[in-house]
Amino acid sequence: MLRSKIFSRNLFSNILQYKIDIVFPPVSVYVNNLNNVQKRFAGHNKWSKVKYVKGPKDLERGILFTKLSKEIQLAIKLGGPDPALNVRLAAALVSAKRAHMPKDNVENSIKKALGQGKAENIENITYEGYGPGGVAFIIETVTDNKNRTVKDIKHYFAKAGGSMSTVSWMFDKKGTIQFNPGSTQDTIDKMMDNAIEVNGVEDIQELEDNSLEHCSPQITCPPSSVNAIYEELTKKHNYEVIRTSSGYIPTSTVKIDEDDKELVEKFTRFMNNLNDHEDIVKVHNNAE
């Protein structure tokens, strides 16, 4: 890890200008069968629009910038200040750029992580529970006040008729990589054909992404294969990787009855509360 004292103006500038084609925050994936490799998997469902963390168009800029600031600080805390060696930091910086986060905000976040400003005790904490309709949720947070965060999440569960409980046994942890054509002219079908041949890819689906306003392929793989697959997609095929993450894939699902308007409204309100909370960065569930 580089020492703080080497952060001269030039290196500091290099960090801010560093480019790597992955984005934080990532999205969760809905997959039924990861054992069968398929060319196309229609994994997204009618709940996709409320399952993903909202993008800049849907989320208040202040909340989004707070999320990004915390992620930058946590990334430096966990992996050091060099984005060339710290994929999580690189992802957070690119995400901040895509969200048009002011440069001063980014600089302040880096300074805090390096002890050059008012430091914050940033932690990465995961919470679990059952939400409306018995749907299982895994909620990942980046927080500077865990007491506040857990209090808010408990309140959301209780208000929705659910409760906090261990549900991780209902999920498998997998790596995910979402990408687009980049500088190529490849179609969705061509990209999926190329990607499915990459070693380590277990499944692939065409994902509707509200923040990008178009569909793009997303790969499911073992978490340990993410970096190698990223390298092949970007270097061999010249694709642009826009998100990478380790996500929780449900091993079983719970069907939401669309005719139950009260349940649908409660489920949607619960998801919106989670997505709008400044400490919550990923939401995974097993709703069908």
Give residue-wise pLDDT tens across range 27-53. 333 323 333 333 333 333 444 444 444
Reported pTM: 0.66
Report pLDDT digits (tens) over 49-61.
444 444 445 457 8
d(CA 68, CA 64): 6
Higher pLDDT, 33 or 69: 69
Looking at CATH, the fold of the domain delimited by 171-250 is given as: Alpha-Beta Plaits (3.30.70)
Q: Domain spans of the chain?
A: 123-169+252-285, 171-250
- Answer for the pair 228, 236: CB distance below 8 angstroms, yes or no: no
| Distances from the Cα of 158 to the Cα of 215, 266, 287, angstroms | 35, 12, 18
pLDDT tier, 214 (very low <50, low <70, confident <90, very high otherwise):
low
Q: What number of CA atoms fall less than 13 Å from residue 258's CA on the CB side?
A: 4
Q: Which fold has domain 123-169+252-285?
A: Alpha-Beta Plaits (3.30.70)
Q: Does 123-169+252-285 match 171-250 in CATH topology?
A: yes
